[in-house]
């Protein structure tokens, strides 16, 4: 099945450049010039990925991201000229899966797109004997790709699920930042510590009774993170 990508950017030349390169590689591409148009496509089309600019008229990308995350876990790749870490954290905390700073090359963009679809394909391809990971009040079903905490099913994005799954599979072990990033986001990653900081924070808010004193997702200072024990 052809994968559908929505490209949202108010700069027409950049929007057309991205769309043209994606279409040349077999993707079905939709394009929108602002946040309102983006939401219209989101509500009417089956989308596999949204490439979303931040600074746009009518409605900025962060608000679009926030609204989409209320009902959907579709992957979102943020594009922006804002390169400060605080800007990256704001986008990731709003629900973005990845972040690309302008200006960027087409190879870098395509690498990020491939990484996102590789994670999705990896999740869909996991079949075979059903295996359930358990720890305390947490239960993760690998076949169904679902997680339950204290009897409540968690609403997780693909990236959140992949991160939780990886940590639970290695419970009790202190895992370095780089190892986690490359296992979950892909081999192209390794220095994006802010990704982990934001995503661990999001998971803690969903599964911990007191996120400030986590029982499950523990910080290993100077190393990375550990699940349990």
pLDDT at 160: 93
Q: Could you write out the DSSP letters of every residue in the chain? A: -PPEEEEE-S-HHHHHHHHHHHHTTT-EEEEESSHHHHHHHHHHS--SEEEEESS-SSS-HHHHHHHHHTT----EEEEES--SHHHHHHHHHTT-SEEEESS--HHHHHHHHHHHHHHHHHHHH--SS--EEEETTEEEETTTTEEEETTEE----HHHHHHHHHHHHTTT--EEHHHHHHHHT-TT-SS-HHHHHHHHHHHHHHH-SSTTS-SSEEEETTTEEEE--
Domain end point (choices 124, 148, 166): 124
Domain end point (choices 99, 124, 149): 124
The model's pTM: 0.83
pLDDT at 125: 53
Residues 186 and 138 in one domain: yes
pLDDT at 133: 93
Structural domain that includes position 131: 127-227
Residues 9 and 100 in one domain: yes
Residues 96 and 135 in one domain: no
How does pLDDT run along the chain (229 residues), one tens digit per residue?
Answer: 789 999 999 999 999 999 999 999 999 999 999 999 999 999 999 999 999 999 998 899 999 999 999 999 999 999 988 877 888 888 899 999 999 999 999 999 999 999 899 887 765 555 455 589 999 999 999 888 899 999 999 999 889 999 999 999 999 999 999 999 999 999 989 989 999 999 999 999 999 999 999 999 999 999 999 999 8
The CATH number assigned to the domain holding 48 equals: 3.40.50.2300
Residues 38 and 118 in one domain: yes
pLDDT at 178: 96
Domain end point (choices 78, 96, 124): 124
């Amino acid at each position: 099945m052809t994968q559908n990508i929505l490209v949202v950017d108010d700069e027409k030349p950049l929007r057309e450049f991205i769309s043209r390169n994606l279409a040349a590689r077999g993707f079905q591409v939709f394009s929108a010039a602002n946040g309102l148009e983006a939401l219209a496509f989101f509500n009417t089309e089956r989308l596999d990925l949204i490439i979303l600019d931040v600074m746009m008229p009518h409605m900025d990308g962060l608000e679009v991201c926030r609204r989409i995350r209320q009902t959907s876990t579709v992957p979102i790749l943020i594009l922006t000229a804002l390169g400060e870490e605080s800007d990256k954290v704001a986008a990731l905390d709003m629900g973005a899966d990845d972040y690309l700073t302008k200006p960027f090359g087409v190879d870098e963009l395509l690498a990020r797109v491939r990484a996102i679809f590789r994670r999705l394909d990896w999740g869909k391809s996991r079949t075979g004997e059903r295996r359930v990971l358990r720890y305390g009040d947490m239960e993760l079903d690998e076949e169904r790709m679902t997680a339950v905490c204290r009897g409540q099913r968690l609403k997780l994005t693909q990236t959140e699920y992949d991160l939780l799954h990886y940590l639970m599979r290695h419970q009790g072990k202190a895992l370095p930042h780089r190892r986690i990033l490359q296992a979950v986001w892909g081999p192209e990653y390794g220095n994006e510590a802010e990704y982990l900081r934001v995503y661990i924070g999001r998971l803690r808010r969903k599964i911990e009774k007191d996120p400030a004193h986590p029982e499950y997702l523990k910080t290993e200072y100077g190393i990375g993170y550990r699940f349990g024990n």
